[in-house]
Structure 1
Amino acid sequence: MAKPSSFVFLFLLHCLMLSLAWTNANITIDKYALLALKSSITSDPYNFLANWSVSSPCNWIGVTYNTTHHGRIHSLNLVGMNLKGTISPQLGNLSFLVELDLSNKNLNGQIPVELVRLHQLRLFILSYNDFHGQVRTWIGDLYMLEHLGFQNHSFYGFIPLSLSNLSRLETLDWTFNFIQGTIPLEVGKLNCLKILQLVGEQTFRNHSPNNL
């Protein structure tokens, strides 16, 4: 078999270098998104995020890197780390994030609307924190969602009709919030739904923002 010409070799080398540069640029986007999240954390008593610094995000605690997803971050799992603070809007730049689990005790504030850009998200769990605000209607735009857990918060309002867009949803848990009204018929269109939990002493009471 004839050896490839120098032109072909240089062309392939150029393509490889472009690919590496593109991958590095993408991982840099993810890196700064995670560093923005770290900066919004006001307390990390066990120093879980200590190595979130100059090293590659692939080696950071709670971060999983997937080479098959364009060299991007696949999952972020900070469960039980006792972190205090808020969610940075820049987290919405993790374009290839598939799993986001921030179940904790002390995160607070509102869920940034920028998270609507996480179109690859399949698992979205924020349980056992202290988030508040109106139930986000844009949740229905996260079409790939399979598991959605917002237990034990202070969300108020009605279950958004946009939930009917989540055709893959298997788990929906909004236990212990201030949900008003009735379960919309659109929820019955979720053919993959296996677990639906909306119970609790606060659920479906006639609350309004002025009562919270």
Structure 2
Amino acid sequence: MVSGLLASSSLLFYILLHACFILLASNTTFGFANETDNQALLAIKNQIAEDPFQVFSWNDSIQFCNWKGVTCSRQHHQRVTVLNLSSLELVGSLSPHIGNLTFLREIYLENNNLHDTIPQEIGRLFRLQNISLGNNFFQGEFPINLTRCLGLRVINLAWNNLVGRIPIELGSFTNLLLLDLTKNHFIGNIPPSLGNLSSLRVLLLDYNNLEGSIPFELGKLSNLVFSIEFQQFVRNDSYPALQYLVHLFLCSSGSVPMNLGSLLDLKWLNINNNRFGNEKANTLSFLDSLTNCTNLGFLDLGGNYFGGVLPNSIANLSTNLTILQISQNYLSGSIPRGIENLVNLKLLALDGNMFTGSIPESIGKLSELEQLFISANNISGKIPSSIGNMSRLSILGLG
């Protein structure tokens, strides 16, 4: 009996000793992890020269998971997963120590006054899903090490001072939903590799110094929903509200891809004030493809040197179209009679071309039309009486 008690006591002692060993090892690991994240956050704080809202009242009196702008994981014992310091007028630079926050999934630093380069150490954050550094003064080239973070879903580096070329490696982000590089100083062509971003819904590249044609490969981005102005972009930093926008670029030349019709959810396409036509005939043949875009509501092709006649396929565009703007081109021939099919048009702008013939009587069937511009053409004949049926018309330009 005594030997049985001794055996039981020995077993219990072994179990308790083993449990203590595990607990000690766990505490050591967690303690190291906590200290690593804690020191990384303090290093980030030390790089901030001005903090007008006194966000960085970070000190040891409060556990760092409770510091303002810091969110920790419940699953992984007190590891930082979100750093949100947006719109706080912070002045300074981003510490390379941010690369030590290895559990970080989301970074929000937009709308501040941060400068210098984006540290390459950010490429160590292999769990990263969202990086939003827009509206700062970051310099240098695109942080190429960021392309190691293949889980990224949102990249917002807009409204900074980044230079160089857009890396072809960006084409590896098959989970990416939004890419915003607006208002930087990027040069060169748009990489055709962006056509591999199979999940992409939002592409914003305007206000850069890009050149060349729109890559044919972008026509494969079937999840892009719609495209808005290339030039007159009204800023909106609420990305949920931007989830259906696509910007491309400013002042490009070349041709428009013939496969835009594969973007079946396209709602807004604006390529105005570029040089896609070069005054040549049949440069609007891509409209045949756009007839597949049954959700298209806005189409602006103005100021592009398009030449030749306006294709009859214009009549087969989506009946959801409310804005059709083809002003300031080199289009000739007559205005297609079938334009009457676009029954929901509110604005029709054909001014500044070389159209001949008369205004078709059928134009009066556009009962929703509010603005009609046909001035600065070679139109002749009488003004059709059917225009009198347009009860919503408020602006008529025939000069």
Same fold (TM over 0.5): yes
Following the alignment from structure 1 to structure 2, what is the Cα–Cα distance between the partners of residues 97 and 48? 20
Equivalent residue, structure 1, for 2:59 = 53
1:204 and 2:210 matched: yes
Instruction: Name the one with the larger strand percent.
Output: 1
Structure (1 or 2) with the larger CA radius of gyration: 2
Distance in 2 separating the partners of 1:73 and 1:196: 29
Q: What is the aligned counterpart of 1:11 among 8, 18, 22?
A: 18
- Residues 33-91 of structure 1: CA deviation (Å, up to 9, x unaligned): 010010000011111111x1113211100000103135311110001111110001111
Moved over 4 A (4+): none
Deviations 1:4-55 (A, max 9, x none): 72211221122122112211110100110010010000011111111x1113
Unpaired segments ≥5 residues, structure 2: 1-7, 213-399
1:116-195 aligned at under 5 Å gives the runs 116-195=123-202
Shift of 1:141: 1.1
- Partner Cα distance (2:112, 2:70) in 1: 19
> How much identity, in percent, do the aligned residues show?
33
Amino acid in the other structure paired with 1:115: I
Give CA-to-partner distance per residue, 1:116-146, whole Å, 9 cap, x none: 1111110011011000112222221111111
Query: Unaligned 5+ residue runs, structure 1?
Result: 207-212
Please provide the CA RMSD for this pair: 1.8
Structure-1-length-normalised TM-score: 0.90
Matched residue type, 1:114: E
> What one-letter code is carried by the residue in structure 1 that aligns with 2:50?
S
Larger RCO: Structure 1 or Structure 2 (Cα < 8 Å, ≥ 6 residues apart)? 1
Residue deviations 1:145-186, cap 9 Å, x none? Answer: 110000101111111011122121111000101111221111
- Secondary structure of 2:14's counterpart equals helix
The answer (yes or no) to whether the contact 1:141–1:162 under 8 Å persists in 2 is no
- 1:209 is matched with none
Aligned length: 203
2:108 matches 1:101: yes
Preserved contact between residue 122 and residue 146 of structure 2 (Cα < 8 Å): no
Instruction: Give secondary structure in 1 for the equivalent of 2:140.
Output: strand
